[in-house]
Amino acid sequence: MTHPIKSSFSTRTLPGYKNPPANDLLDSEGGKVQELIFRVKTSSSIPYRKSLANRLLTLFNDAKEEDPASPGIAVGSFRNFYNFIQLHTNLKCPTISLTPDYNIYASWRDEENRLFSVHFLPNRDARFVIFKPNDRHPERQIRISGSATTDILMETVSPYGALDYISE
């Protein structure tokens, strides 16, 4: 479908011009993701902001390279993650990856074989898992998993000792 052009000048006649992708929504999501990465990079409340922003940008670019029609990183998941780290400024820098749905998956691990991982969903929810040593049976681990809204996630997992190794 063509749209009437109100002036005699058209960008379609410029050398090197490529038609925009069919899905403008994905383009706007990509712009929102890049804006959030910039916010991370410039946030004075995140001590590891530059390394985190670089990792997020790498994940975004890798996802877009693998599938140009993808959002790169799901905007709702990213917002949920960003709000979480803004709310909890004392957290150590997590290891970040993406789920197949382009949601952010953050993990904190310590040298005592304890792990806390969070899958940030787009709807302000998060799924989490905690692995910790079983003091009575050292050959086994305790696994705790669940879901919560991110605003109460830390309160939910604090009885399991996660704050001991994910906080500064």
Q: Where do the structural domains in the chain lie, given as residue ranges? A: 24-166
* Paired tokens of 93: 């820098």
In this model, does residue 11 exceed pLDDT 80? no
Q: How confident is the model at residue 82 (pLDDT cuts 50, 70, 90)?
A: very high
Number of helical H runs and strand E runs in the chain: 5, 5
CB 155 within 8 A of CB 137: no
Q: Which residue has the tokens 């029609």?
A: 69
Across the beta sheet with 115-120, the strand order is 95-98, 104-109, 115-120, 125-133, 141-149
What pTM value is reported for the model? 0.80
**Selected residue with higher pLDDT from 24 and 167:** 167
The separation between CA 162 and the C-alpha centre of its own chain, rounded to angstroms, equals 20
CB 39 within 8 A of CB 57: no
CB 133 within 8 A of CB 113: yes
CB atoms within 10 A of CB 137: 9
Average pLDDT over the chain reads 84
In the chain, % of residues over pLDDT 90: 62
**Selected residue with higher pLDDT from 108 and 44:** 108
* Paired tokens of 102: 């382009």
CB 52 within 8 A of CB 37: no
* Angle at 124 (CA atoms; ends 120, 146), nearest 5 degrees: 60
